[in-house]
């Protein structure tokens, strides 16, 4: 394998890992936005439960005040009944008292209904508050992990770009131009293994003379169909520390 092909293989490994890191860095804010959106939805539900409970308490308080006012009114009417001078006046006071008593019964019945409705509302609020507090902790933990991972990714990205620059600088201008052209055309896949006389990327058969030239390993060989750099046994193994190894087939 030629030195230039080894450098191209190393460069491809850097580019692929850089692309993965860039994708991960871009996805982390989206993930945070999603969990914050879910948290916001839970918060709105909690606020709705709190509003329903508060409305229940307000209605009960209003009805309790109405009961007190009617009780006070009944007390005054009874005092006035004692001073009634005619039967008509007496009956009029009596009708007013009965009306107030009816209003009190209606209010008390509704108060009992509201008390029954408030219990599940109160339980919902307490459960939602507890769940929301736990969820906030979880979200903050995930956000902290995301920030930490982003910092690691950005540090690794910086290192890889520096290493990539070294590898790119070691390529000849012709190979560098070819590498960039192929990478853009095939979205990062620059090298292809030739097996059984075919390009491993486009699967087009290679001319026998081209295949023999590739097997010699004396010069760079391009697939005449897809234009990728071709390599032959042994395949290229690249680690991201920048080392290149030829891994023999089994």
Backbone φ, ψ for residue 85 (5° rounding): -105, -15
Q: Which of 150, 170, 190 is the last residue of a domain?
A: 170
Domain match, 120 and 234 both = no
Average pLDDT over residues 174-187: 94
| Stated pTM of the model | 0.61
Residues 98 and 219 placed together within one structural domain of the fold:
no
d(CA 75, CA 136): 55
| Residue 198 neighbours by CB under 8 Å, 6+ apart | 204, 205, 206
pLDDT at 244 over 50: no
Last residue of a domain, one of 170, 191, 210: 170
Mean pLDDT of 185-208: 93
* 82 plus 152 within the same structural domain: yes
Q: Which domain holds residue 186?
A: 173-246
pLDDT digits (tens, 9 = 90+) for 89-100: 999 999 999 999
- Single residue among 170, 203, 230 that ends a domain in this structure: 170
Indicate if 158 and 217 belong to the same structural domain. Answer: no
Do 96 and 148 sit in the same domain of this protein? yes
pLDDT at position 183 is 93
Give 216's pLDDT tier (boundaries 50, 70, 90): confident
Q: Residues 23-37: pLDDT tens digits?
A: 999 998 888 898 888
Same domain for 195 and 242: yes
Our count of domains for the chain comes to 2
């Amino acid at each position: 394998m030629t030195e230039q092909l080894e450098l191209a293989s190393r460069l491809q490994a850097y580019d692929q890992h850089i692309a993965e890191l860039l994708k991960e860095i871009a996805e982390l804010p989206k993930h945070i936005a999603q969990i914050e959106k879910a948290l916001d939805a839970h918060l709105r539900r909690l606020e709705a439960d709190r509003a329903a409970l508060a409305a229940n308490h307000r209605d009960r308080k209003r009805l309790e005040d109405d009961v007190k006012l009617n009780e006070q009114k009944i007390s005054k009417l009874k005092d006035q009944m004692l001073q009634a001078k005619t039967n008509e006046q007496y009956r009029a006071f009596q009708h007013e008292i009965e009306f107030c008593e009816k209003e009190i019964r209606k209010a008390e019945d509704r108060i009992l209904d509201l008390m029954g409705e408030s219990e599940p509302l109160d339980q919902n609020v307490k459960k939602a508050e507890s769940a929301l507090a736990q969820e906030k902790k979880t979200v903050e933990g995930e956000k902290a992990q995301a920030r930490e991972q982003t910092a690691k990714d950005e540090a690794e990205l910086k290192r890889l770009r520096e290493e990539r620059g070294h590898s790119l600088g070691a390529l000849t201008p012709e190979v560098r131009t070819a590498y960039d052209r192929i990478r853009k055309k095939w979205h990062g896949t620059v090298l292809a293994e030739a097996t059984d006389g075919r390009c491993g990327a486009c699967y087009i058969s290679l001319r026998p003379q081209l295949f023999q030239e590739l097997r010699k390993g004396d010069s760079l060989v391009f697939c005449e169909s897809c234009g990728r750099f071709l390599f032959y046994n042994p395949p290229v193994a690249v680690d991201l520390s920048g080392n290149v190894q030829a891994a023999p087939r089994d």
